[in-house]
Amino acid sequence: MADKVAFITGGASGIGAAFARQLGSRGVEVVLADRQIGLAEEIATAIRQGGGQATAVELDVRDASQFERVVDDTVARAGRIDYLFNNAGIGVGGAILGYTLPDWYDVFDVNLRGVAHGIQSVYPIMCRQGSGHIINTASVAGLLPTGEAASYAATKHAVVGLSKTLRIEAKEHGVKVSALCPGAIRTPILTTGKYGRLNLKEGAETKVMELWEKLRPMNVDVFAGKALREIERNKPIIIVPSFWKALWWFERFSPSLSLWFWGKLYGHFRDELEPYRLP
Ligand X SMILES: NC(=O)c1ccc[n+]([C@@H]2O[C@H](COP(=O)([O-])OP(=O)(O)OC[C@H]3O[C@@H](n4cnc5c(N)ncnc54)[C@H](O)[C@@H]3O)[C@@H](O)[C@H]2O)c1
Q: What residues line the site for ligand X (CB under 6 A)?
A: 9-10, 12-16, 34-36, 59-62, 87-90, 110, 114, 137, 139, 182, 184-185, 187-190, 193-195
Candidate list 152, 195, 266, 276, residue with the active-site label: 152
Closest distance of CB 243 from ligand X, Å: 14
Nearest to 84 by CA among 52, 125, 43, 139: 125
Q: Which is nearer to ligand X, 223 or 276 (CB)?
A: 223
Nearest to 88 by CA among 232, 231, 195, 242: 195
Does the annotation count 99 as an active-site position? no
Phi, psi of 174 (to 5 degrees): 80, 15
Closest distance of CB 13 from ligand X, Å: 3
For 164, residues 6+ apart whose C-beta sits below 8 A from its C-beta are 179, 236, 237
DSSP H or E segment with residue 134 = strand 132-137
The whole-angstrom separation of Cα 109 and Cα 45 is: 29
Q: How many CB atoms lie within 10 A of CB 20?
A: 30
Closest distance of CB 86 from ligand X, Å: 8
DSSP H or E segment with residue 85 = strand 83-86
Closest distance of CB 240 from ligand X, Å: 10
Residues marked active site are found at 152
